[in-house]
């Protein structure tokens, strides 16, 4: 039953996100402002009131067990994820860095008002897990209280840092673990990435979204063997601009619909400083010639870079193995589309071509066409840095009209 409920959360969130991602950003900011105006962000509360609210939250039945391994009576919490965890799991969280999981003792550390508000708004372990564990693989076993540090580490990294159990279209990759500390290019000072309940201001470094890229991952051919006789391949797609900082925040946001449903969604400070998007196909077990035919939508900023693709072999007891990678230059597609204008006004025709060369991964020239009022491009790629493998994808460009 829990899996069904989690899946429904993910499906509703995905549908809303794909329909209008900019509306979600607005709703998120507006909700926090509403909470502030209604005095739910009371910055004058005394410490005893703060501690009482935290302890009351901890006493809820779903918070009496560690969110990650189920150990009873957790005394630690991740203040920027919104979960209560045991001592053993807290050490793994701490190793991820405070930019991913800020670990505090429920009884020994001082908590800020904002941290308490965040924990209360999330609602505790069951609500956070409904998002972070929405798509646990079938038959997957979470760590138990007696599990080894290695097992805990693999699960906790997969859950929070790599976000492997989120609905793929909701994943927002965190750059902080790989880039280190960030500094403002204007001031040279460390950026404060706390999500304040005031309306944000847009920085000069932020790019406007110029369109949507639809990507269909069609198939792989002659992929590399990474298991005994075969592989369990999946594809990760990454698109974004250079950013100042990205951090994931799980906020409880009011989404107004027919039932006035109150749903938790992912809101990222990246919407103000730039963004990097990451999506993933399903895993095709024991297949070197997988057929996915899976479609994704990615927002494209002004300062877009290449679409990056990586093929991995899923492993159960060790890190997933790389099976090759490739990059797709989006410049020919987007430039051709802009040059010809509204495709609805044109007949079927070729409008551009991305040429095969020694410095790209193309198997053959990739032509760009207007077909039935849509700008489309088929791309066949030879996977790089691997002994064998090809990948076929289809692109469609949808510009954002002012």
**How high is the pLDDT of residue 242?**
38
Do 165 and 136 contact (CB within 8 A), yes or no?
Answer: yes
164 with 17, same domain: the answer is yes
Query: What global pTM score does this model have?
Result: 0.46
**Is 183 inside a domain boundary?**
no
Q: How far is CA 319 from the centre of its chain?
A: 19
Same domain for 209 and 342?
Answer: yes
- Residues 6 or more apart whose Cβ sits within 8 Å of residue 196: none
Q: Is residue 190 part of a domain?
A: no
Report the pLDDT value the prediction gives residue 247, as an integer from 0 to 100. Answer: 35
Residue 252 placed within a domain:
yes
The predicted structure's pLDDT at residue 359: 86
Closest to 367 (Cα-Cα) out of 347, 348, 345, 386 = 348
Residue 181 falls inside a structural domain: no
Residue-level pLDDT at 253: 34
- In sequence order, the β-bridge partners of residue 238 are 278, 308
CATH number, domain at 302?
Answer: 2.60.40.150
Q: Are residues 65 and 205 in the same domain?
A: no
pLDDT at 104: 93
Sorted by sequence, the CB contacts under 8 Å of residue 118 that are 6+ apart come out as 79, 80, 82, 251
Look up residue 372 and give its two tokens. Answer: 């039935």
Q: What is the pLDDT of residue 19?
A: 33
Pair (140, 213) in one structural domain: no
Tell me what pLDDT residue 50 has. 54
Find the helix packing angle between 21-37 and 2-19, rounded to 10°. Answer: 110
26, part of any domain: yes
Query: Alpha helix (H) ranges present in 20-124?
Result: 21-37, 47-58, 87-95, 113-122
User: Per residue of the chain (402 residues), what is the pLDDT tens digit?
Assistant: 334 433 333 333 333 333 333 333 333 333 333 333 433 333 334 455 557 788 889 888 889 999 999 999 999 999 989 999 999 999 999 998 888 899 999 888 888 888 888 888 888 898 888 888 888 888 888 999 999 999 999 999 999 988 888 766 555 544 333 333 333 333 333 333 333 333 333 333 445 788 999 999 999 999 999 988 999 999 999 987 433 333 333 433 333 332 333 333 343 333 333 457 889 999 999 999 999 999 999 998 888 889 999 999 998 888 889 999 999 999 999 988 888 888 888 889 999 999 999 889 999 999 999 999 999 999 999 999 999 999 999 999 999 864
Asked if the structure places residue 365 within a domain, the reply is yes
- Give the domain range for residue 97: 2-170
Does 193 reside within a domain?
Answer: no
């Amino acid at each position: 039953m829990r899996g069904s409920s989690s899946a429904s959360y993910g499906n509703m969130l995905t549908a809303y996100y794909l329909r209008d991602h900019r509306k979600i950003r607005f709703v998120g900011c507006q909700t926090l402002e509403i909470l502030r105006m209604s005095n739910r962000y009371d910055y004058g509360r005394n410490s005893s009131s703060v501690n009482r609210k935290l302890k009351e939250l901890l006493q809820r039945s779903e918070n009496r067990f560690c969110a990650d391994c189920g150990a009873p009576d957790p005394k630690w919490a991740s203040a920027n994820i919104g979960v209560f965890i045991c001592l053993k799991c807290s050490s793994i969280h701490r190793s991820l860095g405070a930019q991913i999981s800020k670990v505090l003792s429920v009884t020994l550390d001082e908590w800020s008002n904002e941290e308490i508000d965040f924990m209360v708004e999330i609602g505790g372990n069951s609500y956070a897990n409904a998002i972070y564990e929405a798509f646990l693989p079938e038959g997957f076993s979470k760590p138990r209280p007696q599990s080894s540090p290695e097992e805990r580490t693999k699960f906790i990294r997969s859950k929070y840092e790599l976000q492997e159990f989120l609905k793929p279209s909701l994943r927002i990759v965190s750059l902080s673990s790989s880039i280190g500390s960030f500094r403002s290019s204007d001031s040279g000072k460390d950026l404060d990435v706390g999500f304040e309940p005031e309306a944000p201001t847009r920085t000069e470094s932020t790019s406007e979204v110029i369109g949507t890229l639809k990507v269909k991952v069609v198939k792989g051919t002659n992929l590399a063997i990474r298991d005994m006789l075969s592989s369990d391949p999946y594809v990760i797609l990454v698109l974004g601009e250079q950013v100042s900082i990205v951090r994931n925040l799980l906020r409880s946001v009011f989404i107004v619909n027919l039932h006035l449903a109150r749903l938790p969604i992912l809101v990222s400070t990246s919407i103000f400083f730039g963004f990097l998007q990451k999506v993933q196909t399903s895993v095709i077990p024991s297949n070197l010639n997988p057929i996915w035919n899976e479609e994704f939508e990615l927002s494209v900023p002004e300062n877009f870079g290449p679409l990056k693709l990586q093929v991995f072999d899923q492993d159960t007891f060790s890190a997933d193995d790389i099976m090759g990678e490739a990059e797709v230059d989006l410049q020919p597609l987007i430039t051709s589309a802009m040059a010809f204008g509204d495709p609805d006004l044109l007949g079927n025709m070729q409008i551009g071509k991305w040429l095969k060369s020694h410095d790209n991964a193309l198997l053959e020239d990739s032509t760009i066409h207007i077909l039935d009022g849509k700008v489309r491009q088929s791309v066949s790629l030879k996977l790089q840095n691997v002994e064998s493998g090809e990948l076929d994808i289809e692109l469609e460009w949808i510009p954002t009209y002012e």
